[in-house]
């Protein structure tokens, strides 16, 4: 075999000729990836290009059908995540693998708990975890339950989990998808620090700018094959995106001036939402409106009340006080179903928990909001023919890649394709108003370009769009008006085009001129 004669110096992990088949699809096709000790190596590719599968093979989640993995030049078999851990390989997952009703600390020490006489001892572990948290600036509340933590915090817990296990090879699966620009910068700093200490990092991402900032080398995957590995410093962003998508991508979006309608379609008056446990309101006296034909953005650091705002608007959590109007009707006390029928669509933040029934097929999921209407329902019976037609149309229009077509289980779709399925469903409902929470989270540049164009087209067709995003660039290019949300209140409002990233960032951090 070829690789036997190669020089293994400096490579801590080598994945050689990895091939992995899933029913109906070859996810990895003879991919070779070699990770140097102490480097940050980016893995770039479109949704469904095989990045997660390749990393799954390294982390022991999948057994490759062909190919060898070498660590320090010696072949290893990684049969399970535990085996990977024993080899010093850790992974921060894209969809966090955390126990929801455990605290942050419990999640971090789980599996490697210190015990004395069979009883759990957490004080020493707590000191270690907090020291790590301090040292790398990964702020967490060790006693907060994961289900109460914002996505950004959960991410930090995942990273601390790897560090606590003293892993030397760290896999970051799309770590920045849920982070704010500042948090992203922090993470880049943390990753560089770790690399300087001799840890080797594999960094999966769609975001080309981050690769430029952090990585030394980059391997590009396209449709399950490796397109090449290159030195990041010698490569332009345009080249990277072309290698990834296989065509030129227009990163700058053309936007016509907004022509908003006179009356608002979404109108919120003094909305307040309190949490059950804490005194402090999660959403405090929030008022704003969105007219038809405009995109209004709520920007903010994760965990400042965006989630509650979206859920209260969609009717998933009750409002403690204040009123919500949809198309002129007071919907404050209405159910989620009646709001949907009034023409409200909602792309939720948590796509696996709220957006999809993972064990339903793609076609069943694409009808999740409309199964009870003609033509999907006839005299109480489901029309699978209608559902199939609907699904085939949407998979084509939105380029949802599913191995077995409409009958693929949603669980077996890649993260990006799950997101596309939700967006396809919500847009196909022909909404009057659309709440889009991080609609491009985890999507590749090609898909982001497409989603942005669709959102703008909806805007120009007179729909009201409320965009909740953590991505400052997205907020700046898409919005006609930007509100900054900080600790449950709207603290600033910018008309489109008048805001700068710096200003927004200041308000998001709570240090702008309040008022």
CB-CB contact of 470 with 301 (8 Å): yes
**What tokens were used for 346?**
């909602």
- Closest residue by Cα to residue 41 from 245, 243, 242, 194: 194
Other C-beta atoms closer than 10 Å to the C-beta of 384 total 14
Minimum separation from the CB atom of position 369 to another protein (A): 6
Q: Which two tokens stand for residue 396?
A: 């084509």
DSSP string of 279-337, one letter each residue:
SSEEEEEEEEEEETTEEEEEE--TTSSHHHHHHHHHTSS--SEEEEEETTEE-TT--HH
The set of residues, in sequence order, having a beta carbon less than 8 Å from that of 84 and lying 6+ positions away, is 58, 59, 60, 78, 90, 91
Candidates 319-327, 351-359, 437-445, 451-459: pick the segment binding another protein (CB under 8 A): 351-359
Report d(CA 498, CA 87) in Å as an integer: 52
Give the C-alpha separation, 4 to 17, whole Å: 13
Instruction: Report the site for another protein in 250-289 (rule: CB under 8 A).
Output: none
Asked if 333 is part of the footprint of another protein (rule: CB under 8 A), the reply reads no
Listed residue (367, 374, 413) closest to 388, CA to CA: 367
CB of 16 to another protein, least distance (A): 19
- Identity of the residue, 180 or 345, whose beta carbon is nearer to another protein in the bound complex: 345
Q: Among 53, 103, 332, 340, which residue interacts with another protein (rule: CB under 8 A)?
A: 340
As measured in angstroms, the least distance from the Cβ of 377 to another protein is 5
CA distance 458 to 264: 16
Question: Does 193 interact with another protein (rule: CB under 8 A)?
Answer: no
* Residue found by looking up tokens 């907060």 in the block: 144
Q: Which of 314, 424, 414 has the alpha carbon at shortest distance from 365?
A: 424
Of 196-204, 366-374, 438-446, 474-482, the segment contacting another protein by CB under 8 A is 366-374
Q: Which stretch binds another protein (CB under 8 A): 240-248, 253-261, 297-305, 357-365?
A: 357-365
- Among the listed ranges 38-46, 101-109, 374-382, 439-447, the one in contact with another protein (CB under 8 A) is 374-382
Site string for another protein, 402-421 (x = CB under 8 A): --xxxx--------------
Q: Is residue 377 within 8 Å of residue 467, measured between CB atoms?
A: no
Q: Which stretch binds another protein (CB under 8 A): 166-174, 216-224, 337-345, 460-468?
A: 337-345
Number of chain residues interacting with another protein (CB under 8 A): 38
Give the interface segment with another protein, choosing from 154-162, 165-173, 290-298, 336-344 (CB under 8 A).
Answer: 336-344
Rounded least distance, CB 353 to another protein, Å: 5
Displacement of CA 454 from its chain's centroid (Å): 19
Three-class DSSP category at 68: strand
Beta-carbon-side half-sphere exposure of residue 284 (alpha carbons within 13 Å):
12
Q: List the one residue from 48, 293, 348, 496 that touches another protein (CB under 8 A).
A: 348
Q: Which of 369, 390, 463, 481 binds another protein (CB under 8 A)?
A: 369
What's the closest the beta carbon of residue 282 comes to another protein, in angstroms? 18
Query: What's the number of CA atoms in the CB half-sphere (13 Å) around residue 164?
Result: 29
Of 34, 291, 307, 346, the residue at the interface with another protein (CB under 8 A) is 346
> Residue 171 Cβ, how far from another protein at the closest point, in Å?
25
Q: Return the residues of window 102-131 that contact another protein according to CB under 8 A.
A: none
| Window 308-327: contact mask with another protein (x via CB under 8 A) | ------x-x-----------
The verdict on 95 binding another protein (CB under 8 A) reads: no
Q: Is 99 in the site for another protein (CB under 8 A)?
A: no
Binding site for another protein (CB under 8 A): 21, 23, 65, 314, 316, 335-340, 346, 348, 350, 353-360, 364, 368-369, 371-372, 376-377, 380-382, 384, 388, 404-407
């Amino acid at each position: 075999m070829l690789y036997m004669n190669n020089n293994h110096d400096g490579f801590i992990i080598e994945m050689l000729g990895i091939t992995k088949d899933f029913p109906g699809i070859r996810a990895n096709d003879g991919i070779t990836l070699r990770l140097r000790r102490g480097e940050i190596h980016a893995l770039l590719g479109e949704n469904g290009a095989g990045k997660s599968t390749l990393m799954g093979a390294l982390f022991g989640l999948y057994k490759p059908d062909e190919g060898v993995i070498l660590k320090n030049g010696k072949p290893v078999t990684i049969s399970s995540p535990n085996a990977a851990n024993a080899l010093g390989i850790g992974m921060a997952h894209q969809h966090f693998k955390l126990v929801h009703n455990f605290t942050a600390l419990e999640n971090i020490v789980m599996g490697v708990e210190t015990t004395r006489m069979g009883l759990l001892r957490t004080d020493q572990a707590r000191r270690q975890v907090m020291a790590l948290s301090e040292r790398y600036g990964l702020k967490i509340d060790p006693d907060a339950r994961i289900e109460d933590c914002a996505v950004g915090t959960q991410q930090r817990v995942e990273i601390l989990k790897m560090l606590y296990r003293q892993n030397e090879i760290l896999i970051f699966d799309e770590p920045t998808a849920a982070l704010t620009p500042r948090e992203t910068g922090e993470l880049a700093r943390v990753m560089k620090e770790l690399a300087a200490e001799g840890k080797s990092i594999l960094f999966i991402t769609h975001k080309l700018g981050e690769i430029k900032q952090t990585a030394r080398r980059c391997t590009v995957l396209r449709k399950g094959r490796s397109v090449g590995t290159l030195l990041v410093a010698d490569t332009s962003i345009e080249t990277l995106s072309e290698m990834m998508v296989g065509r030129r991508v227009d990163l700058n979006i053309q936007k016509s001036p907004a022509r908003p309608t006179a009356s608002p379609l979404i109108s919120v008056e003094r909305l307040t939402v309190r949490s059950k446990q804490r005194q402090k309101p999660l959403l405090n006296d929030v008022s704003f409106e969105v007219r038809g034909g405009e995109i209004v953005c709520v920007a903010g650091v994760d965990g400042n009340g965006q989630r509650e705002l979206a859920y209260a608007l969609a009717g998933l959590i009750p409002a403690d006080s204040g009123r919500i109007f949809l198309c002129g009707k007071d919907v404050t006390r209405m159910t989620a179903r009646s709001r949907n029928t009034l023409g409200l669509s909602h792309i939720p933040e948590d796509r696996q928990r709220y957006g999809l029934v993972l064990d339903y097929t793609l076609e069943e999921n694409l009808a999740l909001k409309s199964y009870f209407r003609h033509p999907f329902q006839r005299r109480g019976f489901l029309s699978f023919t209608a559902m199939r037609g609907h699904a085939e149309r949407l998979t084509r229009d939105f380029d949802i890649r599913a191995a077995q077509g409409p009958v693929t289980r949603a669980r077996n779709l890649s993260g990006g394709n799950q997101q596309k399925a939700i967006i396809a469903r919500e847009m196909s409902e022909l909404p009057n108003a659309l709440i889009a929470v991080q609609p491009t989270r985890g999507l590749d540049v090609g898909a982001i370009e497409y989603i942005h164009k669709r959102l703008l087209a909806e805007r120009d067709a007179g729909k009201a769009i409320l965009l909740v995003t953590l991505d400052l660039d997205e907020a700046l290019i898409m919005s006609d008006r930007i509100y900054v949300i900080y600790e449950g209140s709207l603290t600033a409002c910018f008309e489109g085009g008048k805001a700068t990233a710096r200003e927004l960032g200041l308000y998001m951090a709570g240090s702008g001129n309040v008022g």
